[in-house]
Amino acid sequence: MENYAEQLIQLGQERKSIICIGLDPEIEKIPLQGKLEDVIFTFYQNILQAMVDENVKPTIVKPNYAFYFQHGFEGLRALHKIIEFCHEQDIPVILDIKVGDIKKTAEAYARGIFNWLNADAVTVNTYMGRDVLEPFFQYCKKGKGVYSLLKTSNPSSGDVQDLELREGRRVY
């Protein structure tokens, strides 16, 4: 079995692209009407299907969990359906959730993210230490990926991430 990084490299070469599309629904900007779950799913399904039809298949997509979670079960069902659709189209999915909690809780997140949602990769906030990451590593052996949050681009990221430690080293 190829590891996650090898899978992405191969897809990038095959598709001659490293396109990653964020799938973060802002309902008020989606020009569709109907049941929330269907609106979200149909909107992204149409975009991704159009790209597939035009042979511009993205190498990977990255839905941000919060944009779905805020809509409760309908949002989570839409996310689940989007991930299934992406897999049908051979498009891997990074779940952008930035989880970061103690080992037992991280184990529960890993099971939900990889076993229920069936994401291919996840973003993890590792500021609490190694035990935040460890539960995700068993899934790496099964071809899944983990992105560790180190330095972010939000305006106040430097408040903590840029703190100078010793010898000119920074937190990140």
- 122 SS3 class: strand
Is 122 in contact with 95 (CB distance < 8 Å)? yes
96 strand-pairing partners: 64
- 98 counts as catalytic: yes
Tokens of 61: 């997509």
Tokens of 158: 């430097």
The one catalytic residue among 57, 81, 98, 103: 98
Encode burial over 111-139: b for 16+ CB neighbours within 10 A, e otherwise.
eebbeebebbbbbbbbeeeeebbebbeeb
Backbone φ and ψ of 44, nearest 5°: -75, -35
Q: List the catalytic residues.
A: 98
